[in-house]
Amino acid sequence: MIISGWDDGRIRAFYPETGREIFTINDAHNRGVTAVTVTND
């Protein structure tokens, strides 16, 4: 899974094999997302 932050304030996840979107978190930030941290807890 590839997770990326976007200028529109959303966070999106993609399958690396196909580039198909898995999910979007809308309104993750009120401005562009510049950093993403992922943990397993």
Per residue in 6-31, pLDDT (tens digit) is: 999 999 999 999 999 999 999 999 99
* Domain coordinates in residue numbering, the chain: 1-30
What local confidence, expressed as pLDDT, does residue 18 receive?
98
What local confidence, expressed as pLDDT, does residue 41 receive?
84
CB-based contact 2:17 (threshold 8 Å):
no
What local confidence, expressed as pLDDT, does residue 20 receive?
98
28 contact partners, CB below 8 Å, separation of at least 6: 5, 9, 10, 11
Chain-centre distance for alpha carbon 21: 10
What local confidence, expressed as pLDDT, does residue 8 receive?
95
Instruction: Report pTM.
Output: 0.82
Strands of 1-41 (E only): list them: 2-5, 11-14, 21-25
